[in-house]
Structures are given as C-alpha cells and as structure tokens.
Structure 1
Amino acid sequence: MKRLLVFWCGVIVILSVLFFSKMLVESQTKTVEATSKNTVNIFNWGEYIDPELLTAFEKESGYQVIYNTFDSNEAMETKIKQGGSTYDIVFPSESIIPKMIDSGLLLPIDQNKIQGTEDISTFLMNQSFDKKNKYSIPYFWGTIGIMVNTKQVDAMKIKKWSDLWNSEYKNDILMIDGARESIGIALQAEGLSLNELDEANVQRGLEKLAKLRSNVKAVLTDEIKTLMIHNDAPIGIGYSGDAAYVMYENPDIQYIVPEDGGAIWTDNFAIPKTARNLDGAYAFINFMLRPENAKQNAEYVGYATPSEQAKALLPKELTNDEAFYPEPAAMEQMEHYEYLGRDAVEMYNDLFLEWKLGL
C-alpha cells in the first residue's frame, strides 16, 4: 500500500511539472508574439539614421523600435543566417543582396504595401542585383572617391585614380580597407572593370596596386575620417558620406570623384527571413520614404538621398555639388558593385590580404 501511494504521488508530481511547464512555454510564446507585434527590430549600419526619426516613428506608429548595428555586410549576413535574432528590417549593400536572395535570407517585398517608390531616382531602381526591386528598396546611395587636404596637396593635380600613383604622394595616402574597393581602384586605373571576374585581369589590378605601396601611409576604415579631420594625412580614400562629414569638420578637405571610373553604391531596405512583424517593417519603410523624413535623414547622415522630392528640399549648395550628386553623364561612367560569387569574393579577399601583408 505504501509503495502504491509513493507511485501515485510520483505520477502526480510528474503531471504537475508537465502541466506547469506547458503553461510556462505557452506564456512565453504569447509574450514573444505580443512583443513582436508591438516592436520593430532594426539592424542597420552604425551612425546611419537620425535618432530623432526613430523617436518620431515610435510616437506616430505606436511601435517600439529595437535598434542594433553591424559593421560589415558579412557580419549582418551571418546574423541573419544563424537565425537567433529576429530582425524585421536590415540594410544590405547591393553587392551582397544576390547572395542573400540565393540563400533564402530575404523575403520578397509586397509592392502593394510600399508607398513612395515612384519618387526614387530611376537610375537606382531595377538594377541587375535585384531586378524590379523584388527584395530591396534604395535607402542611401553614394560614390567612392578621393579626399584631399587642399592645404597640403594641390587638388587640381588629382582628377583620376591613376593620379594617386604620382611619386610626389609618397606616404601620403590613407587607403580604404576593402578588397573590392581597393583592387577596384587599381582595376579602373588600368581601364578595367571593378567587377572583373577574369583572374588574370584581377592579378593585373593587384600588380598595379602593388606599385602604390610606397604612397600608402596606412590601410584603415573609419579611422580615415578622424585622421583627415586632424590634418594627419594629405589624401584619403572614402565614401561620399564620410567625405561630407570630414568636410564639415575640416573645410580644407575637398572630395573628388575620379574621372577614370568611380563607383555608385546603394544601401537598401530589405526584410529578412527572421521578420516577425511585417506590418511594422512596412510601416517603417513607408515612414522613411516620405520626402520630409528622407530629407531630414540625408542631412543628418550626409549621404545622398534616393528620393527626388527629398533632394528638392535640401540646400542647393549641397545638391549642386557634383561630388555628391553627380551629373547623369558622369554617372554613366561609373559602375555599380556587383556580387561576383563566392569564389571571386574569396579571390579578391586573398589577393588583397597578400597586398596588405606586403606593406
């Protein structure tokens, strides 16, 4: 009788544990579902949005924004692939979008739920990396070029990438720490495409880059901005938005888009497979596409807005600056960074690392 009583007590304990465990799981699930419906999880590049717009969106929409940042497309892609974080919106660059599409990391965008794309500059839409913008919408765009300290260097002598190889710039250049960007500069200086797939041509670009070593002071990323602001180097390679910030802090800096090529890039709104709040994602995209908000964001961040109406609201001294808003004829000479495939990306990265080790 005693054994039977112990047996049934054990059964009751087990059933109680199972019951309360089930209740706990259901409660946690409901909490997560409720949270996901009330929040918009955003994953963006650092310092890439006006914080006041996030506050305004929360106030208008009733959603709470959870905002996290990444420092490279690869880091962002890895996070989405792992699936541990439930981001509703991400901001990939054009070069990685085809890879993310092929890997099933992005959801198709319901164009019926988007308002404002008709206002986006036509040269940024329907690009080869995402035909008909099925998975992405332009967020910011810009160029890559040459920052020159006019107190230290005659800016009139620098019009092309190829001018950087001039021996008078020994130990003067801050080179950008990016395989596609740096090898792309050398390729364009050789009259080749920055999207070269032919290994012999890429090797030719690397050999050209090797001849630049004596002129390179350092290979950096964000540090280039600080050093240029403080007059620690005469020449720096960088993106147009970074150049705008540097020029604001140091009026002696001039930004030059090279005549022998150059590149147009875009960063884009996209909805990852991890999204749990699609309504919130669309609400945020539409909010940011409004001309007045796009204009405010462009003024804060410093990059070119894709919105033609927002551009019209910006100061003329900014939009008339061809370094930041190039004329159509100049843009026709520029290339978009294309995703070249895993093997080509590894080739570029390996060759660039080889070049850096030789500095």
Structure 2
Amino acid sequence: MIEDILQPSRRGFLADLGAAAVGLSFTGGLAGCGSPGKSLNFYNWDTYIGATTLKDFKAATGINVNMSLFANNDELFAKLRGGNQGYDVIVPTNDFVQRMIQADMLLPLDHAKIPNIRNIAPEFITADYDPGRKYSMPYTWLVLGIGYRKSKVDGVPDSWKWLFDSDRYKGRIGMLGEAGDLCRIALKYLGLPPESRNPADFARVQQLLIRQKPNIAVFHEDNGQDLLLAGDIDIVLEYNGDIAQVMREDKDLDFVVPKEGSQLQSDCLCIPKGAPNPEFATRFINYLLDAKAGAEIASTIRFPTPNAAAKALMGADYRDSPVIFPPPAVMANCYWASYAGEATVRLYEETITRVRAA
C-alpha cells in the first residue's frame, strides 16, 4: 500500500517536499522561482500537499509549481478580493467557493481537460455550493472536532462544553480563529441553527465567547495541531486531518467529534479569475485528482479524500480510522458549512472582532 511507504512527520515534511525546488513561500506572497511560461502559482494551506506531489508533477510535465501559504479562508478571500495577484490554483473551503462564485472571482473549469474527475466518489460530484462542479473540484473533506492530550484531560472531552463553557482546562484551550467556523460551532453548542442570520443569536455567541475568553490560551490560525503537539495547549478546536497528522508522532493525542454535532466542509481546487496560466492550472488540478497522486497526498496530510480511486490504494489504518472517517452515527449529527450572504459574513467578523478586543 502507498500509505505504508509514505509516513513523513510534520517536522520532516518540508525537507521531503523540497521547498527550494518548488519555490515554497511562507509569506503568503508569490515566490520568484520557475522559468516564465513553465510555472504556475499555487495558493494553499500549510502541510496540505503530498511530500513529493509537486516534484512529481514537474517531472511529469516540466511545469514548476510555486506554492505559497495562507492561514485561513478569510485571508485567502481578502487577498483575491481586490484582484488576482498572480495565483493560478487556490484551495478555498466549500462555503468560500460559494462566496467566490457569487462574487464572480472564479473561472469555469473545462471538464473535458480534467478526465480524472472520474476518480471522485459520486457523492462529491453533486455539490449544492457548486452545481455541476462548474468552478471547483473536491480536494479533501473534513470535520471539526476536539483534539486533545489524553494524559491531561478527564476521559474523552466529547462535548463542546469543555471549549466554550468551562474553566476546567483554563489556560490550556486553543480556539480556531476563523470567524465563520467559530460562530457556527458556537451556535450549534447553544442549540441555535448554525446557519442563523439573526443578530440576537450572534449576541449570544459573543456573550458566550467573551465569558470563556479568560480560559482560552490562544485563537490559533490553522496551527492548533502544532500547539497541541508541542504541549502548549491540552485541548483544541481543530480539523480531524490536522489532529490525525500529529497523532502519528505522539500517541498521547486523540480526536473526538462532540456529541452535540459538528461542521463538515470540503476544501476545493479552483482557478481564480486573472490566473496567468489557466491551462497549466487545469493540468495541475487533473494531476491532483489522479489515483496515485491522490493517495500520496492523503498519506501525507491525513485528511479524508473524496477521491475513491485514491482511497482504494490506501492502507487500512487510513481507510478504517474513526478520526479520518468518523462513523455514520457521528456524521448524521453534523451539518455542512454554507455561505449565508455578505451581511452574515459581517456578523461573523464583527462578533469575533469584538470577542478578541474584549
């Protein structure tokens, strides 16, 4: 199995990736590597590509990939809102795909040039946020939950209470900083509709989070798993794949989806308007949907893949993991994040801004 061969640690990830060879940038700006006309610019999440994927793509096509990183969807959207600064492929989450479609920020995809679409599981071909997959291809799917250090918590922290409404782990709590995700999870915990647009509901979220703020060590930006691994925190709101990555390095770590239910999402591959090399971008997206390439990605990043052909190549410790693929009873109590309009986005942002400033 591919997974049995490829088991890089997070610390060894960049060395395996060959950062200099692919023009990796940590500043969020574009790297200056690659010859003109034979390179593309990839804007991605941290540790969200296979250890050899970019080198393999270059070997197969002669196209160099310059990858730069963003911390969250808010940053990605803000960077592109004023115009594309040279990115060819981006990886927004499904609700931001919907938002970008409505804002006319994405190019339609030519399915005839993406034959590896056949590898995607049927349930991911149909998407309410992008009917007909006109603008996006699914890259991963994910669920939010609680990552924790078993030796530092009392049993399994299977309720959002331990993050949102308790001082039991005072000063050892990490909270996800992305406004929309945090608000929707808090709404779910309060028994309110996650898709609420009611300002009164957001006032309750604000009150809840401000009351809990003295117990929170950090509002993290896509690095909660690193803080947990380092021992800086003991319990964290984070995505299942992020925690699955560090569980390979520390057996004292685990992940649970709280009993109140949680949020499902899918990160997608898109071509933003103004992409300098849309043809190269299309070839790259097709390559990422290849079965072997998809398995190499999944074995590295440990997020659940919507690529059925890639999943079939994976070992049982990936396919049967309840962290990577939560059981149906858990999934039944989850909801999909959705774009609720700019007025609601402002409610998310204003609520979390006030919480942080309190």
Could you state the TM-score of these two structures normalised by the residue count of structure 1?
A: 0.82
Whichever of the two has the greater Rg, that structure is 1
Aligned residue identity for 1:48: Y
1:5 is matched with none
Percent identity reads 29
1:137 is matched with 137
2:347 is matched with 347
Range that drifts further, 301-310 or 222-231? 222-231
Q: 2:91 touches 2:269 (CA, 8 Å); kept in 1? A: yes
Going from structure 1 to structure 2, the CA distance change for 1:347 and 1:82 (only over 3 Å counts) comes to closer
Structure 2, unpaired ranges of 5+: 1-34
Alignment partners' CA distance in 2, 1:268 and 1:169? 35
Alignment partners' CA distance in 1, 2:74 and 2:166? 34
Aligned residue identity for 1:344: T
Alpha-carbon deviations, 1:322-348, whole Å to 9, x = none? 221123343232122211222211111
Q: SS at the partner of 1:35?
A: coil
Going from structure 1 to structure 2, the CA distance change for 1:166 and 1:84 (only over 3 Å counts) comes to closer
Aligned residue identity for 1:95: D
Q: CA deviation at 1:252?
A: 0.4
Going from structure 1 to structure 2, the CA distance change for 1:300 and 1:349 (only over 3 Å counts) comes to same
Range that drifts further, 204-213 or 241-250? 204-213
Aligned residues: 323
Structure 1 segment 278-317 matched on structure 2, within 5 A: 278-317=278-317
Alpha-carbon deviations, 1:92-123, whole Å to 9, x = none? 11121122112221111122221222332344
Structure 1 segment 37-186 matched on structure 2, within 5 A: 38-83=38-83, 85-156=85-156, 158-164=157-163, 165-186=165-186
Going from structure 1 to structure 2, the CA distance change for 1:332 and 1:199 (only over 3 Å counts) comes to same
Q: 1:256 touches 1:323 (CA, 8 Å); kept in 2? A: yes
Alpha-carbon deviations, 1:208-238, whole Å to 9, x = none? 3334334323322245333311323221111
Q: CA deviation at 1:297?
A: 0.6
Alignment partners' CA distance in 2, 1:80 and 1:355? 26
Q: 2:71 touches 2:221 (CA, 8 Å); kept in 1? A: no
1:212 is matched with 212
Range that drifts further, 142-151 or 88-97? 88-97
Structure 1 segment 21-40 matched on structure 2, within 5 A: 35-36=36-37, 38-40=38-40
Q: SS at the partner of 1:169?
A: coil
Structure 1 segment 203-352 matched on structure 2, within 5 A: 203-352=203-352
Range that drifts further, 133-142 or 320-329? 320-329
Going from structure 1 to structure 2, the CA distance change for 1:64 and 1:222 (only over 3 Å counts) comes to closer
Q: 1:180 touches 1:194 (CA, 8 Å); kept in 2? A: no
Q: SS at the partner of 1:116?
A: helix
Aligned residue identity for 2:36: T
Could you state the TM-score of these two structures normalised by the residue count of structure 2?
A: 0.83
Going from structure 1 to structure 2, the CA distance change for 1:78 and 1:167 (only over 3 Å counts) comes to closer
Structure 1, unpaired ranges of 5+: 1-33
Alignment partners' CA distance in 1, 2:80 and 2:214? 40
Alpha-carbon deviations, 1:291-349, whole Å to 9, x = none? 11101011112222111221222221222122211233432321222112222111111
Higher percent of residues as helix = 1
Alpha-carbon deviations, 1:147-186, whole Å to 9, x = none? 1111111233x22213443443333321121222222222
Aligned residue identity for 2:262: G
Range that drifts further, 306-315 or 213-222? 213-222
Aligned residue identity for 2:159: K
Alignment partners' CA distance in 2, 1:62 and 1:168? 54
